[in-house]
Amino acid sequence: MNVRVSIQTQDFDLSTEVARLREQDQRVGAICTFVGTVRDRNDGQSISTMELEHYPGMTEKSIEAMIDEAFKRFDIYAVRVIHRVGLLQPLDQIVLVAVTSAHRGESFQACEFLMDYLKTQAPFWKKEQTPDGARWVDARVSDDAALAKWGIQSQNA
């Protein structure tokens, strides 16, 4: 069985991950991927580095539950989520969501669904280095509209 969720410090290779998802699955007609990268700015301030933390076990369990929900909502075959933690620089890859299905529509929707969840609900904490010093930021960007389109209520308060 393929691993669906990895929280890791090391970078990932998009082509390797996509190849693993579609390997030996002749049903796959579509693969949708999203790769997020670290920006050099947040809230109008420049960022030199970002450090992400999580609670091992809790984070994976939370993401696995949302993947299970994606399988209930969409006709998809496989999902791979990689989220990096540790010290990251601008331009570094930080997150991968990849989804396979027979047709593109299901893959696109499931990929967007999972990214909306990751950005708003996944338990990550980040510390940004700015010209004014370090600051902790809740990595969960509360976007009630993104969640509402999926019928999910924000758990961030």
Residues 6+ apart with CB under 8 A from 121: 62, 66, 140, 147, 152, 154, 155, 156
The predicted pLDDT at position 91 comes to: 95
The predicted pLDDT at position 143 comes to: 64
Q: Is the pLDDT of residue 2 over 80?
A: no
Q: Which domains does the chain have, with CATH numbers?
A: 5-139 (3.90.1170.40)
Tens-digit pLDDT profile for residues 7-24: 999 999 999 999 999 898
CA distance 56 to 112: 24
Q: Is the pLDDT of residue 157 over 60?
A: no
The predicted pLDDT at position 74 comes to: 97
Q: Taking residues 85-99, what's their average pLDDT?
A: 97
| CA proximity to 30, closest of 98, 93, 84 | 98
The predicted pLDDT at position 108 comes to: 96
Report if pTM > 0.85. Answer: yes
Q: Taking residues 34-48, what's their average pLDDT?
A: 89
The predicted pLDDT at position 131 comes to: 87
- To the nearest whole percent, how much of the chain has pLDDT over 70? 90
